[in-house]
Amino acid sequence: MANSALARGDNLKFATGNDAVVQVRDIFKNYGDVEALRGINLEFERGKLTTLLGPSGCGKTTLLKIIAGLVPATSGEIRVNGRAVTGPGPERAFVFQDFALMPWATVLRNVGFGLELKGMPAAERDRTARRYIEQVGLAGFEQKYPHELSGGMRQRVGIARAFAVNADVLLLDEPFSAVDEQNRRKFQEDLLRLVELEKKTFIFVTHSIEEAVYVSDRIVLLSPRPGRVSQIIDPMIDRSASPDDIRRDAGYLDVVEEIWQGLRQYAE
């Protein structure tokens, strides 16, 4: 793992300084004797989508939950907009791998739940929720219950809920892993559109290399046990091309290959 130290040293110098919304400083996380994360230093810029990519067990979800304030770090510090994180906060919104929708509540109520917790009046809450339901392509499904929706549609509800609270930072924990392949591609395209539209900071966790390269402005490769930053890659994909062209683009395929070469040592 000689290249890991090198990549970390190089890339971070370039990453610091400018418009960093989320700063991760010297994060360590131990679960009892198990070291899950070791010395993570990262910065996430406004308006960019950064992906945490790595094999299972590399602590990428743990890192995301530490940033969310859902899991405490053993040591180190997270700063969002310059303020240290001690728990969840309104400037961060989370999208869950298993959607985490309330099965007893309609789409409208689920999407508005974050606003309901903020104490927003019902009329205004519903108006906002409806706007985001429409934006994720679920108009007409406001009064449906989660079990009446497909997996893909459920995650759209989860994403609409996260957008509705108007947080600066969106944390997405493998949001498309429970969605079938066709929908997944559609989702990735929609996500790019939303990144463009919303100008928020996205931190995205996935284990799919293709997905990471396709959607990310920057990819952070984590190595497993304990999780460390092993490489940072800026794919530089030209997104003005059509989705199908991007997936055939030589630059895109090269990045996928480069990441695979970096990760294959962990695959068995």
Q: Which of residues 28-57 bind other proteins (CB under 8 A)?
A: none
H runs (alpha helix) in 19-73: 60-68
Contact region for other proteins (CB under 8 A) — 90-98, 132-140, 196-204, 253-261?
90-98
Contact region for other proteins (CB under 8 A) — 48-56, 66-74, 209-217, 248-256?
66-74
145 binds other proteins (CB under 8 A): yes
At residue 70, the 3 state secondary structure works out as: coil
Angle at which helices 181-198 and 151-164 pack, to 10 degrees? 10
Nearer CB in complex with other proteins: 114/262: 114
Nearer CB in complex with other proteins: 58/93: 93
Structure tokens at 31: 């679960």
Angle at which helices 122-135 and 151-164 pack, to 10 degrees? 130
Q: Which of 6, 102, 241, 253 binds other proteins (CB under 8 A)?
A: 102
CB of 119 to other proteins, least distance (A): 10
In sequence order, what are the residues at sequence separation of 6 or more whose Cβ sits closer than 8 angstroms to the Cβ of residue 197?
Answer: none
Contact region for other proteins (CB under 8 A) — 37-45, 110-118, 192-200, 220-228?
110-118
Classify the C-alpha dihedral 206-115-195-140 as positive or negative.
positive
Binding stretches for other proteins (CB under 8 A): 65, 68-70, 87-90, 92-94, 96-100, 102-104, 113-114, 117-118, 145-147, 161, 165
